[in-house]
Amino acid sequence: MKKLLVASVCATAISSAFAAGFGLYESSARGVGMGNGLVGSTGDASANYYNPANLTECTNVQVMVGMSLINPFCDVKVDGKMQSKMNPGWFPPPHAYIAAPVWNDKFFLGFGTYCEYGLGTKYDNNWDLRADTTETTIQQFTFNPNIAYKITENWSIAAGARMSYISFENKKTPFDHDDLHTTVMHPVFGPVDVSLGRQFIRTHLEGDDFSCGYVLATQYKLTDDLRLGLVYRSRINHRIEGDMEAEYVDNSGKAAALNAPRNGSAKAKLVLPASLTFGANYDFTKKFRGGASLTWTEWSTVNHIDFRLPKDYSGKHTSYTEELNWHDAWRLGFGFEYDFTRNFSGRLGYSYDWDPSGEAHGTTMLPPGDRHIVGFGVGYKFLDNWRVDLGYNFIIMESESRMIGGHKFQCDNSYSHIVSASVSYSF
């Protein structure tokens, strides 16, 4: 299967929620509502994600837990022919954080777990590009301990480890013939007898990996009202290992005993990209605040994927390189927050996400096109120490097409709903 492990490239969304590349940014309900404009100043335990240097703003122990529900869907055409809608359902990437001052108001510790990358797509089993994929669900989780240090009253720095776990599942139909020849030769599965009617080869792939990277961050207060932040996230090199099962079935869905299924182990090398984020936050008044962020992501690391398949029908392992030719891309977001009362706040945000995929290459596991993300949210404080945040994003993806295996793959009316909730407690 030439594209057996491309799923890992387009590796939580769980689902990509139609984010550019396969990045996920839904790491707190407050951030969802504000277009992720929390890099210059965060003010709560979610600083572990947005900017670990902002942990120095947490003067007491704080805990946050939450979840986002993501539902991407779109209309799909192949060579102008309408296919069934792509709608993989709802996916629930979680987030959890803790922040605490530990020594002399200078050192601060934090820990976060959240999802940075992901993909979820599902098509009808008989759609026209079933040889590329019919279903892919990939989950990535980051476990992130951080330490922050306040150098002066205005300048803070931080460093942390990003321990990344990826798991994925992929299904496709790489062989589907009903011609009048006695046999058809498949490059991996060998000769397949189709003289008795239509025959399928369906494959099921599962795999996972654990690897590590790091994060470096800083915050600087230019004035009491203006704070700047800078965050660098390193590459993470994954060597994904899994198992592939292949089954021959006839037109009725029954197993066909024509050849032994080619089952075995499969491997792939995947480099999660580095990124650099700059952000600024400004307090217009005591009640009205705004923030913006600009992120550069090194998607060019997803230029190609090298993978190794199970042994073919002749008993030899087969290696392939899948060319994707992605390019580096940017993401711009900004948002505003207003305190209507001492305990109740409202938020608005917008983000623009550039698509990194090249026009000459594509995969049905990731619909192409730039993204517009409109968000809003609310926050409510109660019982002195508790806060509940709710956020919503509506994603609009511009219509684009890509050539895949000589066919034109096009996505129209591509949207996503994201609903997020977080609960915080301050000790």
All structural domains of the chain? 6-172+208-241+265-426 (2.40.160.60)
With vertex at residue 121, the alpha carbon angle to CA 35 and CA 240, rounded to the nearest 5 degrees, is 95
Measured CA to CA in angstroms, residue 124 lies from 150, 201, 251 at distances of 54, 16, 16
Q: Tell me the HSE value of 352 on the side-chain side, using a 13 A CA sphere.
A: 4
386's CB contacts (< 8 A; 6+ apart) are: 423, 424, 425
**Which two structure tokens, joined as six digits, stand for 111?**
């820990």
pLDDT of the residue at 190? 55
Residue 176 main-chain phi, psi, to 5 deg? -155, 105
CA–CA dist 32, 37 (Å, integer): 9
**Amino acid (one-letter) located at 376:** F
Cβ atoms within 10 A of the Cβ of 129, count? 20
Residue ranges of the chain with per-residue pLDDT less than 70: 1-21, 88, 175-200, 248-262, 304-324, 360-362
Residue 187 in 3-state DSSP? coil
- pLDDT at residue 6, rounded to an integer: 35
Instruction: In whole angstroms, give the CA distance from residue 28 to residue 33.
Output: 9
Among 34, 41, 31, smallest CA distance to 115 is for 31
Phi-psi region of 206 (alpha: psi -120 to 50; beta: other; left: phi over 0): beta
Each residue's pLDDT tens digit, 82-113: 887 777 678 888 999 999 999 888 999 999 99
Q: What is the pLDDT of residue 199?
A: 63
Confirm if 116 and 142 have CB atoms less than 8 A apart: yes
Asked if residue 346 lies in contact with residue 380, where contact means CB atoms within 8 angstroms, the answer is: no
Residue 39's pLDDT is 97
The model carries a pTM of 0.84
pLDDT of residue 104: 83
Residue written as token pair 């892919």: 136
* pLDDT, position 4: 37
Secondary structure of residue 331 in the 3-state scheme? strand
**Residue 50 in tokens:** 């947005």
> What 3-state DSSP class applies to 186?
strand
Who contacts 278 (Cβ-Cβ below 8 Å, separation ≥6)?
39, 228, 229, 230, 293, 294
Q: What is the pLDDT of residues 53-79, one digit of tens each?
A: 999 999 999 999 999 998 888 888 888
Residue 128 Cα distances to 132, 166, 196, 361, angstroms: 9, 29, 23, 18
pLDDT recorded at residue 124: 78
